[in-house]
Structure 1
C-alpha cells in the first residue's frame, strides 16, 4: 500500500515538473493536482469528483448568501417598535434597489443579466460558458436587494451563482460541452438544494428548467452535487434560516375537492403574477437609459407598499411561518391595519390585498434594478392564498378544513404555475415539510395550476421571447438543433451564376458541363433576376427544340421563396417543406445573390449535431 502511494506521489511530482514548463497559464496546487487526477482516472470518475467539488462550492455560496441576508434583516428590524419598523420599511427597500443599481452600473459595467433565462441562453448560444463574474456578482447584488427589503427571493441568484461555478470549473479543466452543461446544471441543483435543504427538488429544478431540451444519461454528478449542497445547509444553517415546515394535518381523501378548488385558484393567480410581471417590466423599460432614476422610482413605490403591507418586505418566509404557527394576528398588529381592528374580515382583506400586491412588489423590485428571483414570492403568495382559501371556508361554516395543508400545497401550486416546474414544486414542499403523505394533494394542485398556465402559453412567458428567437433550448428537439445551424454552413459551394446578357448557347454549355440543377440569374448590376432550372432547359439540352430567338430573361423564373440573412434555419426549413424544392436563393439586403441554400446541407448538419448531442 505504501509503495503504491509512493509511486503515485513520484508520478505527481514528475507531472508537476513537466507541467510548469508551459507558461501560458498559471495553476495553483489544487488545480495542478486535479489536472493530474483527471489523467489518472476515467471520465466518469473525474465527473463524480467534479460533482462533489462543484456541489460543495455552490452549496457554500448558497449558505453564505442566506446567512448574510438573514443577519442583515435581523439587524435592521429585530425587536423594533412598530413606528421604527415602518420607518425601516419606508427607507431601506429604496436604498437597497438604488445601491444595487449603482453597483451594477459602476462595478459590473451595466451587466443586468440576472435571471435563469440568461443561463439558458448561455447554454444554447455560448456552449454553456457563463461569465466568471456571475460567480460572485449575484451574491453581492441579491444580498443587498433582499437584505434591505426587496420583495424577491434569493434562490434564483443562488442557482445562477451555482451555474457559473459549474461552468467555470469545467472551462478551467477544458471539459467538453456536455460535461460543461452537466456541471453547470449540477451547480444550480446544489444551490437550490442548499437554499431549501431539498436535494430532490434541486435535481428536479435542473431537469425541468436548466436541462430543458437536452438529453443526458450520465446524471450521477448532478445527484452528488445536490446531495453535497443539502448536507452543507443541514450542517451550517439553523431552523430560523431554513425553509422548514414540519407541523401539518393528516391527508383525508374526502378533502380532494378543497384541493381541486385551490389548484384552480393558484393556477389563475400564477397567470396573474406572470402578466403583472410583464406589464411592470414594459413600464420600467422606458427608463432603460436612466438606471439610477429607475431604481429610485421603483424603490420609492416598493417602500410605500411595504409601509402599507409589511409582509411584502423581504423574502416573506417569516410571515408564512407566523401564520403557519397560528399567529396571524401578529401580522395585523405589525401593520397600520392594527388601528382598524383584527376581525376575521379584516384578516381576509389584509391578506388578500397582500397577495395581489405581492405580484407588483416583486415585479417592481426586479424591473427597477433589484436582483432576485420568483421562488420566494411564489411560495409566499401561494402560502397566503392557501390560508385565505381555508380560512374563508371555515368562516362560511365548512368543517374539517385542512387549512395548514392548504397553505403547504398552495405554495406548490403558485410555484408550479408561475415557473412551469410542477415536479420541482411538488418535491420542494414535500421535502421541506417532510410531507410525503401529502403527495396526492401536492400533485393535484401543482398539476392543475400547471395545466391552467400551459393553456394560456405553452412556454413560460419569461422565456417566450428568447424561445421564439431560438436563443434557448425548448422541449422541441428539432428546433433546438436547427437553432445551432448557421445559414452560411448551408450554402451550396458549387452555386453558379448566369447573366441576363449570356446567350442561350453559353447557358446550355454551362448546364451540359455542370451537375447543378438550378442556377441563379443576375443582371448587369449583379442584382438577382431569377432562377434557371435544368427541367426548363431539358427540351433545348436534348435538341428537341431550337433555342434560337429565346433569351435568358424569358426563361428565368422567380423562386417560390427568397431567403434573407436574418432568416433562421427553422424558418428556411419551413420554406423548403412548403415549396418542395432542394435549393433556394440567399440574397442580401441589396438583392445581391450570395448563394443557394441547400436542403441537403441542412440535413447533413442536422445529423452531425444530433449525433454530437446524443453521444
Structure 2
C-alpha cells in the first residue's frame, strides 16, 4: 500500500513540475495532461495516441472546409433562371479570386505557399516544421476560392492543413524529425481520407507524395489517423457533400481493349494538363509584385470561361454526378450551347471543349491568386474524358461499351498521370465507388497514364524545379542526404594560405610544417591567385633544386573547379568526382578565398546523417 502511495506521489510531483515548467498561458490543461502521458507511455504507444489525435483534428478540418464551401454554394443558389445563372457565373469567380488574394496580401503577409510542393520543401529544408498559420489559412482561402466558383478542388488544401496540424502537434510535444515527419504525413492522409471517405487512398497519398525518399517502418500512426479522418467524415457529412459513386457495370474482360485506349488517352491528356499549368504559371509570374491586379485579371478570365462553359464553375463533382445519372443533356441546357440544340454531336463538342478548357480554368484559378488543388479538376476532367470516349464509341456502332466504368476509370487515369500517384488514384476510385471489382481496369489505365507521363519527365513537373535545386526529397537517397549538408560544415579548418609576397623560403617552411598537399595563393587583399601543391614543390623540398629566383606567382596553378557559396553539395560532389581531388577552393563573388571544401568532410557528414536517418 505504501509503495502505491509513493508511486502516486511521485507522479503528482512530475505533473506539478510540468505545470510549473509550462505555464497555463502557454499550454492548456489537455496539453499538460498529454505531456504527462507522453512520459508514461512508450514511444510507440504515444505515437499511436498522437495518430488518433492528429487524425481527428485533420479530419475535422476537412469536414469544416467541406461544410464551409457547401454553405457558400448553397447561398449562391444556381437554381434560378438561365440569365441570372449566367450573371452568377460571370461575377462570383472574379469576386472569389480577388477576395482570396486580398486576404492573402493583407492578413497573411502575401504568403502564397499553398501547394503540396511547399510541404515537401518544409520536410526537406525545415526538418518537417510547417508554419502554424497553415493550420487555418488554407481553410479560409480555399473555402472562398472554391465556394465562389474557382475551378479547383479542396483536397490539396485539406492535405496541407492536415500536414500543418501533424507537424505543429509534433513540435508542441518536442518530437524528433522522424516522428514529426510521420505525424505530418498522418495529417495529410487523414485529410485526404476525410475528403473522399477513402482511408487506403489517404495512406497511399502519404507514401507516394509526402514520404517520397523517406523510409519508415512504424507507419501504424499513419493508418490510424487515416481511419479516424474517414470515420469522422462518414459520421458528419452526408452523401451530397462526399465524393461518392455507387452504380457501375460489371467488368467484362473482353472490354480490356477499351481500357487500353482510355489509358493512352488519359496519359496524353494528363501531360497536356501539366503543360498548360506551366504555361499559365509563367504568364502570371510577370504580375508577381501586383497581387491584386493579377487576381482581377485571372478572375475576369475565369468568369468568361465559366459563362461560356458552366461546368467549369466550382469543383465540378456535380457535373460528373449529373452525367453519371444519365442527365448529360442538362449540362447543355444550362449553357449557351443550348441555342445549338442537344444532339449527340453537340454533346461531344461541348464536353470536349470543356475538357480542354478545364486545364486552363484550373491553372488560372491557382496561379492568379486563388487557392485549391488538382485533385478535383483531374477527377472531373478524367470522368468527362471517359464519358466522351465511351459515348463516341457507341455512336460509331460499338456495342456493350461500359461507359459508366470508363468514366470511373478515366478519373483514375488523369489523376494518376497529372499527380504521378497511380496507387492513390486506383484506391481512391475503388473506395469511393465500392468498385473493387474494377481493380484490373483501374490498374491498366492508371499505370499506362503514369508511364506516359514518366516518359516525358521522371519527376512531376510541379516538383521538378525544387527537386533539381535539392529542395525536396526524391527517390535518390544519396541526393536526399547530400541536400541536408551545408557547405560551411565541409570547410577544412586547417587551411593554410600563401601570399603572393611570400618568399620561397616561407612557402617551403609552411609546407614542411603542414600535412596539407595543396595551399591557396592569395594577394594582400585576399584575392585568389591559384594553388600550390606539394608535388610541384617536391624538388625544392628535397633540396634537389634551388628555389632562388622563383616566385610564388610563377608556380601558382588554376584549380580544376572553383566552388561558389551558392553551389549545392550535390554539385560540389560531382566536381570532386570529375576532378578526382580531395579539396577545392571556395570563393565568394569578389573572388576572395574563403577556405578549402574538403571531400573527406563531406563524406564524414554524409555518414553521420545516414546514421541519423537509419535510427
Q: Per the shorter chain, which TM-score range? A: over 0.9
Q: CA deviation at 1:546?
A: 2.5
Q: CA deviation at 1:67?
A: 1.4
**Secondary structure of 2:493's match?**
coil
Q: Is the 8 A contact 1:124 1:471 kept in 2?
A: yes
**Secondary structure of 2:519's match?**
strand
Q: How far apart are the structure 2 equivalents of 1:399 and 1:105?
A: 56
CA shift in 2, pair 1:90/1:12, >3 Å: farther
TM-score (norm. length: structure 1): 0.97
Q: Indicate the RMSD between aligned Cα atoms, in angstroms.
A: 1.8
Q: How far apart are the structure 2 equivalents of 1:188 and 1:164?
A: 8
Q: How far apart are the structure 1 equivalents of 2:501 and 2:350?
A: 81
Q: Is the 8 A contact 2:130 2:167 kept in 1?
A: yes
Q: CA deviation at 1:95?
A: 0.8
Q: CA deviation at 1:60?
A: 0.5
Q: Deviations over 1:500-556 (max 9, x none)?
A: 222222211211111111111112332111111111112222222232332222222
Q: How far apart are the structure 2 equivalents of 1:613 and 1:241?
A: 41
CA shift in 2, pair 1:472/1:14, >3 Å: closer
Task: Please state if 1:180 is matched with 2:180.
Answer: yes
Q: How far apart are the structure 2 equivalents of 1:311 and 1:556?
A: 70
Partner of 1:543: 543
Q: CA deviation at 1:21?
A: 4.9
Q: CA deviation at 1:248?
A: 0.8
Q: How far apart are the structure 2 equivalents of 1:3 and 1:85?
A: 75
Q: How far apart are the structure 2 equivalents of 1:5 and 1:315?
A: 60
Structure 2 gaps, min length 5: none
Q: Is the 8 A contact 2:487 2:565 kept in 1?
A: yes
Q: CA deviation at 1:5?
A: 11
Which is worse superposed, 330-339 or 37-46?
330-339
Q: How far apart are the structure 1 equivalents of 2:308 and 2:446?
A: 31
Which is worse superposed, 245-254 or 404-413?
245-254
CA shift in 2, pair 1:153/1:500, >3 Å: same
Q: CA deviation at 1:8?
A: 5.5
Q: Deviations over 1:428-480 (max 9, x none)?
A: 00111111111111111111111111111111111111111111111111111
Q: How far apart are the structure 1 equivalents of 2:2 and 2:482?
A: 55
Q: Is the 8 A contact 1:145 1:370 kept in 2?
A: yes
Q: Is the 8 A contact 2:495 2:595 kept in 1?
A: yes
Partner of 1:270: 270
Q: How far apart are the structure 1 equivalents of 2:477 and 2:432?
A: 34
Q: Deviations over 1:101-134 (max 9, x none)?
A: 1111111111111111111111111111111111
Q: Is the 8 A contact 2:18 2:32 kept in 1?
A: no
Q: Is the 8 A contact 1:115 1:373 kept in 2?
A: yes
Q: How far apart are the structure 2 equivalents of 1:22 and 1:340?
A: 70
Q: Deviations over 1:352-384 (max 9, x none)?
A: 010001001101111111110000000000000
CA shift in 2, pair 1:2/1:133, >3 Å: farther
Aligned residues: 615
Which is worse superposed, 386-395 or 333-342?
333-342
Q: How far apart are the structure 2 equivalents of 1:296 and 1:192?
A: 31
Partner of 2:595: 595
Q: CA deviation at 1:351?
A: 0.4
Q: How far apart are the structure 2 equivalents of 1:135 and 1:162?
A: 7
Q: How far apart are the structure 1 equivalents of 2:413 and 2:22?
A: 55
Partner of 2:484: 484
Q: How far apart are the structure 2 equivalents of 1:599 and 1:611?
A: 19
Partner of 2:451: 451
CA shift in 2, pair 1:3/1:377, >3 Å: farther
Q: Is the 8 A contact 1:52 1:224 kept in 2?
A: yes
CA shift in 2, pair 1:222/1:22, >3 Å: closer
Q: CA deviation at 1:26?
A: 2.2
**Secondary structure of 1:547's match?**
coil
Which is worse superposed, 287-296 or 313-322?
287-296
CA shift in 2, pair 1:104/1:508, >3 Å: same
Partner of 1:96: 96
CA shift in 2, pair 1:409/1:8, >3 Å: farther
Q: CA deviation at 1:3?
A: 11
Q: Is the 8 A contact 1:163 1:185 kept in 2?
A: yes
CA shift in 2, pair 1:5/1:30, >3 Å: farther
Q: CA deviation at 1:10?
A: 7.7
CA shift in 2, pair 1:12/1:207, >3 Å: farther
Q: How far apart are the structure 1 equivalents of 2:24 and 2:548?
A: 69
Q: CA deviation at 1:22?
A: 5.1
Q: CA deviation at 1:154?
A: 0.2
Q: How far apart are the structure 2 equivalents of 1:215 and 1:18?
A: 34
CA shift in 2, pair 1:504/1:101, >3 Å: same
Which is worse superposed, 47-56 or 434-443?
434-443
Q: How far apart are the structure 1 equivalents of 2:538 and 2:604?
A: 29
Q: Is the 8 A contact 1:12 1:36 kept in 2?
A: no
Q: CA deviation at 1:274?
A: 0.7
Q: Is the 8 A contact 2:78 2:88 kept in 1?
A: no
Which is worse superposed, 77-86 or 99-108?
77-86
CA shift in 2, pair 1:285/1:5, >3 Å: farther
Q: Is the 8 A contact 1:16 1:32 kept in 2?
A: no
**Secondary structure of 2:594's match?**
strand
CA shift in 2, pair 1:4/1:379, >3 Å: farther
CA shift in 2, pair 1:513/1:7, >3 Å: closer
Q: Is the 8 A contact 2:497 2:521 kept in 1?
A: yes
Q: CA deviation at 1:388?
A: 0.1
Q: How far apart are the structure 1 equivalents of 2:477 and 2:10?
A: 49
Partner of 2:316: 316
CA shift in 2, pair 1:554/1:25, >3 Å: farther
Q: How far apart are the structure 2 equivalents of 1:192 and 1:22?
A: 34
**Secondary structure of 1:520's match?**
strand
Q: CA deviation at 1:16?
A: 3.0
Q: CA deviation at 1:418?
A: 0.5
**Secondary structure of 1:397's match?**
coil
